[in-house]
Amino acid sequence: MVTKTGLRAALLMTGALLSGIAFAQPAPTDSEKEIERYRAMISDPMSNPGFLAVDRGEVLWATKRGAKNVSLEGCDLGEGPGKLEGAYAKLPRYFKDTDQVMDLEQRLLFCMKTQQELDTADIIKRKFSGPGRASDMEDLVAFIANKSSGMKIAAQLSHPKEKEMAEIGEAIFYRRAGTHDFACATCHGESGKRIRLQGLPDFSKPGKDAQDSMGSWPTYRVSQSALRTFQHRMWDCFRQQRWPEPEYGAAGITALMVYLNKQANGGEINVPSIKR
């Protein structure tokens, strides 16, 4: 006959044994090394499906569309009309013709509306790809960003509005809100944090964490079988924080990107990368 005392002791012993088993699992750093080894194996352009998006984006860039039946090849992304090399490395940035700080997606939408006179409602509806739904924006971002691959992130902070956006972005980074009282800093405000096997970069200070992370977007997500832009990353982060869904191309998201690029300044861009 098992007494209550004996049962309690058995349960405690079982818990101790299970704890021992848990502690005997491979160290997180070992898991991270295996993940990085896997990424390295499929990072070659011939193995990374993200480069299919680059190819599709190249076609879209040169495709004539809209009421004016012109391509995007005259779009000025900051380096002059049609000049793509190094443009992504300096975005978001201030544009005099709009008197705004704009990221790549905002600028592309502006060019579609003004230069092509294209109805962008369907473009925005398909801002993120899904089963049976391609995304022009994801493909265009992949193509344009790849033109800065191997270059350094060059955060633009010389114009007063760029400095203002960096300050707003920092405030948003630390702002706690939503049903779970989360902020970006909840997950990314100190080093050594992780979700399951996934290490979380620390954006609270400039340096390698921020550089490696910001220099890896856009990326091909193996778990989603899709090329994802940093706009999608922001949308998904706010979803997981249980915040309201941000409007696509919202100024607040751009401000947050300016702040994160400031923290990542000087980091090397290698895109499209590949992630889990």
- Which amino acid is located at 153 in the chain? I
The closest alpha carbon to 108, from 100, 215, 116, belongs to: 116
Token pair in block for residue 205: 């200070």
Are the beta carbons of 255 and 172 closer than 8 angstroms? yes
Distance CA 187, CA 183 (A): 8
Are the beta carbons of 275 and 222 closer than 8 angstroms? yes
Tell whether omega for the bond before 81 is within 30 degrees of 0, i.e. cis. Answer: no
Residues 6+ apart with CB under 8 A from 113: 120
Are the beta carbons of 52 and 142 closer than 8 angstroms? no
For the chain, what is the total number of helices (H) and then of strands (E)? 11, 7
Distances (CA, A) of 119 to 26, 124, 171, 204, 229: 53, 10, 34, 39, 22
E-assigned strands of 148-232? 194-195, 198-199, 219-221, 226-228
- Tell me which residues are annotated as active site: 237
Specify the length of the chain in residues.
276
What is the layout of strands, in order, in the sheet containing 219-221? 226-228, 219-221, 273-275
